[in-house]
A and B are shown apart, each in its own frame.
Chain A
Amino acid sequence: MPSHPKLANEFVKDKERAKWHDQSLWFVRSKRDKAVHQLPEWELLREQASKIKSYVVSHLPDLLEEFEKNAKAKGVHVHWARDAKEHNEIVHSILKQHQVKRVVKSKSMLTEECHLNPYLERHGIEIVDTDLGEWIVQLQDKPPSHIVMPAIHIKKEEIGELFHEKLGTEKGASDPQYLTESARQRLRQKFIEADAGITGVNFAIADTGGFVVCTNEGNADLGTSLNKLHIACMGIEKLIPRASDLSVFLRLLARSATGQPITTYSSHFHGPAPDSELHIVLLDNGRSEIADSDEFRRSLNCIRCGACMNTCPVYRRSGGYSYSNTVPGPIGSILGAAHDTKANSSLPFACSLCASCTDVCPVKIDLHHQLLTWRKEIRLKGLLPLSKRLSMKMMSWMMQAPRLYQFVGKMARKIVPYLPRFLVYNPFNAWGKQRELPDMPKQSFREWMKQNHDRK
């Protein structure tokens, strides 16, 4: 897998696009700031949410059993999947049982994580993503580049072109109103033709056995009301203990994600509709392993609002695809490293440790500390590139010997100013590509002290 710096470099090369991407996401971050500052109790809400989620993660088995019992009592079929493969097989078997040929799906990062779409397509089932952004990337045959705004990286002119090619809209059209209306017409048709609806789950409630799906387009409701089979796919960490906890999260989620007070639709599902079937697939896929780790357990608090991506100065300038992981950005770098450390070993380093993600996170995950901890793990596992390992070893060695350190410093100050520019600014000097090196002073602070200030 290409490393983050390599892919980021490609993205930044198109400077205008990188700038536009950064500004679009900063706009969302600014909207978020306005929305959260309307709530004087914001920090209290974060604290409360963090406590609830930490409780959930440390009581997962009990709460899952409680959820299963209560959901079954409501007539819901509950399935358990150990990994992505099992998840897809379960979904497929349910669809097969009902002889389903067409499925409409509301956006779900979990099914992205499992690569459910290509799996079902291989088995002859048509699956359509009904969230507008997600549908756009599906038409491009690409994954989402952001977990809340899957097509945030695509310009409206490009969507116009895509729609012209795939939906036959007017050539050169880029009016959002026109394009959205065209998509809406086509999606309506898909909703009507579908035999089953698949949704994700934002919050599953242990003490009621119900769950909540949040969308802005109402597509989850359309997809599940128009036909008689609803399959909900959720990661086991999506639980909350009580229905009364829900208000905390509904207030945090949309404000953090898009700066809205609440998502347009927060749809509650408590058992199947009359003459319908409701299935829920609970997926582990490495989550229980994370729950067992003292260092990374808190990453399971994540409610997938995407605020850490919007605020991350690296994500904003390198784009979602530079992470090569279903979930990009700070939280994605943590989850990606947990899922496959070797393949994702550059991700915890795609971070300047500015800690903005930690301060923006509505459930108070200490994201930048966990990224730092991942760097240690990567070093321990021998996955740190030799160049970094060696340079750090040499630097440590030098810094343990004050005389050597002083000597090296002195030599650099003496020699560098006399070097011809091409020797200093060469292709091996990444610092000097776009930046000047500091001017070398005549003496170090230590030398100055000796001459001017020594009292000993």
Chain B
Amino acid sequence: MAPQVGLFIPCYVDQLYPQVGIASLKILEHFGIDVEYPESQTCCGQPMANTGCTNEVVPLAKRFLEIFKSYDAVVCPSGSCVSMVKHHYDEYFSENKEYDELKAKTYELCDYLTSVLEIKTLAGRFPHKVGLHQSCHGLRELRLASSSELVKEPFGPARELLESIEGLEVTQLQRADECCGFGGTFAVAEEAVSCMMGEDRVHDHEQAGTEVLTALDMSCLMHLDGIIRRQKKPIRVMHISEIFAECL
């Protein structure tokens, strides 16, 4: 029997980007996974945690564990929210076996595809120049690709998946993995710096010839898309799951 996956759709994706949830579901089902979307889920608590409001996270972390503990795996199309659950819930659960299990079985979508389902290539065609924005939490907390600061063998399964798609060319950036400047509440509290960072990221993609800008996180893309549309740049923004789903 196919393992039962609990689909974890971040709150803002649920509300603002339903197509990313739909694409994620479509991909998992395409590969024969039995997916369930637990309806009582809301938010993992990352905005509160990143603001230092620990007390406000506790009930959300406990809810999250209750909702997702019974699945064989939890899969989410966001490195950032997965990193919250895997790396920042520890302080709310001391020696909790159920949490330790949850931590081990929670995956970012591309990570689940490549490391659990061992999918190395995708069929389909996507004849575009695609710019991959390396979202920081997936990159430097979950280690879903090699970061430019470290002296290690370069790797990047999500990029390899993209490159396996016919006609798809991944563009070369001058700053391979610099932050886009979203940073949750940072985007509002430090608006000036946040927007300058975003503008610089967009510019790097522009000079690289990016037609479609993608990432493992919709939050970075929400910020970059906001800038792209305000400045009327000819770049289309798609979550990586949307590209994959289009190729199925």
Contact = CB atoms under 8 A, between A and B. Distances in A.
A317 interface: yes
A444 B14 contact: yes
B48 A392 contact: yes
B48 A395 contact: yes
B245 interface: no
A445 B9 contact: yes
A346 to B, nearest CB: 9
B175 to A, nearest CB: 7
A378 B52 contact: yes
A244 to B, nearest CB: 23
Contacts of A441: 16-19
Interface stretch (B98-106, B110-118, B182-190, B205-213): B182-190
Interface stretch (B124-132, B160-168, B192-200): B192-200
Interface string B48-78: 1111111011011001000000000000000
Contacts of B148: 33
B179 interface: yes
A358 B143 CA distance: 13
A39 interface: yes
B96 interface: no
Max chain B CB contacts within 10 Å: which of A37, A354, A379, A446? A354
A258 interface: no
A433 B51 contact: no
Given A355-B136, A409-B15, A453-B25, A379 B186 contact: no
Contact of A353 (B42, B53, B136): B136
B136 to A, nearest CB: 4
A359 B147 contact: yes
Interface size class of chain B, counting residues whose CB lies under 8 Å from the partner chain: 35 or more
A349 B179 contact: no
B192 A396 contact: no
Contacts of A360: 149
B59 A353 contact: no
B43 interface: yes
A435 interface: yes
Contacts of A389: 53
B183 A354 contact: yes
Contact of A352 (B45, B51, B183): B183
10 contacts: A5-B192, A8-B193, A43-B152, A313-B178, A388-B51, A405-B43, A430-B188, A431-B188, A445-B17, A446-B39
Interface of B: 9, 11, 13-22, 25, 37, 39-43, 45, 47-54, 56-57, 59-60, 63, 136-137, 139-141, 147-152, 175, 178-179, 181-200, 222-223, 225-227, 229-230
Interface of A: 4-5, 8-9, 12-13, 15, 18, 22, 26, 33, 36-37, 39-40, 42-43, 311, 313-314, 317-318, 349-356, 358-360, 372, 374-380, 384, 388-389, 392-393, 395-396, 398-400, 402, 405, 409, 412-413, 430-431, 433-438, 440-441, 443-449, 453
Given A349-B186, A351-B186, A449-B37, 5 more contacts: A43-B151, A353-B50, A396-B60, A431-B188, A434-B226
